[in-house]
Homo-oligomer: A and B are copies of this chain.
């Protein structure tokens, strides 16, 4: 019998679960919706049921459970999530199984996976920046995710890149996220062009001058934020992920050029694409599960190929 852990990446919309073996084989992945609108208790119950279901699909009893969740998180408690609405949920409440459980912050757990298994392998100090509906970063410092004094760090999506800029949904002005998230790029172009529901990838591909303008502002906002990060934290590299990173050279090339231009007295760190895609959170959760099981040594050396694993959704 091969031992395995249950790994779960809990998002605001859906949950991605998996079983991951001791040697890093993704035995199974499966997706379920997050019943966010039914309140926090329903979400915890749905997570518990999903974990039991996943565990039952495995061969034997899991060695541990790892969960990546949004909001403020400690290893042993989901402290707070505005998105899901819970407060102070102990790790043990997330599973009916009598196995060790460990929690991690969603973006930081993705960063952990990119550090151990992905684009940041062997790199102790880097920024993992997934750009999706929103923007938050995982700061990997001295080889571990760093969340700040109370776990609220990494909010690079809300640093004021344009001090007199547009108001963000968060209430602040000129936030990176309000210019450069995938959702913002789509929204800002749609508004300017008098259209509705245009997607970021369409804006990136368009040669409509309004689209070029919106994309240019997104690139400028990103290069400002990355210049700031570089000057403050001197990373070895910056790993860009999330939906917007799928734009490839249309994103990387102009951001790199502007970042280099912004920095006068130091080199820019390399910008590299994330390696684990949407699986980063689940894979990071599997590392947490193995850590909970007393196997912090697992991870380095794994060859993960999640895309070929069965995805039931």
Contacts and interface: CB of A to CB of B under 8 A. Distances in A.
A155 B264 CA distance: 12
Interface string A170-205: 111100000000000000000000000000000000
Interface string A254-295: 000000001111100100000000000000000000000000
Contacts of A228: 159-160, 228
Interface of A: 124-126, 137, 139, 141-142, 146-156, 158-163, 168, 170-173, 220, 224, 227-229, 231-236, 262-266, 269
Contacts of A236: 149-150
A229 B125 CA distance: 17
Given A161-B163, A171-B265, A262-B160, A148 B234 contact: yes
A205 B172 CA distance: 31
A149 B126 CA distance: 8
A151 B234 contact: yes
**Which are the 7 A-B pairs with shortest beta-carbon distances?**
A148-B234, A171-B264, A153-B234, A125-B149, A149-B236, A155-B231, A152-B234
B232 A159 contact: yes
16 contacts: A141-B146, A142-B146, A148-B235, A149-B234, A149-B235, A149-B236, A150-B236, A153-B232, A153-B233, A154-B232, A154-B234, A158-B265, A160-B228, A163-B224, A228-B228, A232-B232
A172 B232 contact: no
A158 B231 contact: yes
A233 to B, nearest CB: 5
Contacts of A168: 264
A171 B265 CA distance: 8
Contacts of A263: 172
B266 A139 contact: no
Contacts of A141: 141, 146
A137 B232 CA distance: 8
A226 B234 CA distance: 18
Contacts of A266: 152, 155
Contacts of A159: 227-228, 231-232
B139 A264 contact: no
Contacts of A154: 232, 234
Contacts of A162: 163
Contacts of A235: 148-149
B172 A264 contact: yes
A283 B233 CA distance: 25
